[in-house]
Amino acid sequence: MQDSRLARLIVRQAQKRHLAALWAAAAGVAPGMTLLDIGAGSGALSFEYAALVGPAGRVIALDPDGECIGHIRAEAERRGLAIRAIVGSAEALPALDAAPDRIMLTDALHHMDDPAAALGALRAILPPHGLLFIAEYDPAGPGAVGAKLARRTAPGRVVALLGAAGFTIVNHAPAPDEHYTFTATA
């Protein structure tokens, strides 16, 4: 039986499932790719990504919450999805058994204690053909959905963090549900 915290998280993250196809399209996700989902939470987006990369692809779901990772593992097995769920954080990235074609960092940057270290670690594992996709809640938004305005990361801060980590920004755009997005290469 799930505890009430996990049950609330599953419901809250399921409300963002519609964004997975938008994020995947913006990142150029294609069948057969390996995708790293940072801050996967209860896996709502990971499950959607797994369907998009298909049986020849795989998703690596990373989250520091062991209970969430347990849920992702059980649900992926139940659905027959190729998801490897790992307890960990981007700041102290565990060893991966495959280089990701795409790294999806959605609604997670504002939760990190050391986003500079996280982006540095992600830059180190992203192959030349790879792409980093970031979606964050915009602090200029009204605050009707998502993270509290005080917790949101300004786009200018993301630009500075990406530059310091050695990324090249490919695109920056406004996005639905009070988001903005960045795509960047190593």
pLDDT per residue as tens digits for the range 131-184? 999 999 999 999 999 999 999 999 999 999 999 999 999 999 999 999 999 999
Q: Give the 3-state secondary structure percentages of the chain, helix then strand then coil, rounded to 5.
A: 40, 25, 40
Q: How far is CA 44 from the centre of its chain?
A: 11
Task: Look at residue 1 in the predicted model and tell me its pLDDT.
Answer: 46
Q: pTM for this one? A: 0.95
Task: Look at residue 11 in the predicted model and tell me its pLDDT.
Answer: 87
Q: Which two tokens stand for residue 13?
A: 């993250």
All structural domains of the chain with their residue ranges: 4-185
**Amino acid code (one letter) for 57:** G
Residue with tokens 């990361």: 153
Distance CA 51, CA 76 (A): 11
Which residue(s) pair with 180 in the sheet? Answer: 136, 174
Mean pLDDT of 77-88: 96
Question: pLDDT category, 12, cuts 50, 70, 90?
Answer: confident
Is pLDDT at 120 greater than 90 in this prediction? yes
Determine contact, residues 172/134, Cβ cutoff 8 Å: no
- 4-185: CATH, from 3.40.50.150, 3.30.1700.10, 1.10.1040.10, 3.20.20.220: 3.40.50.150
Distance CA 71, CA 77 (A): 10
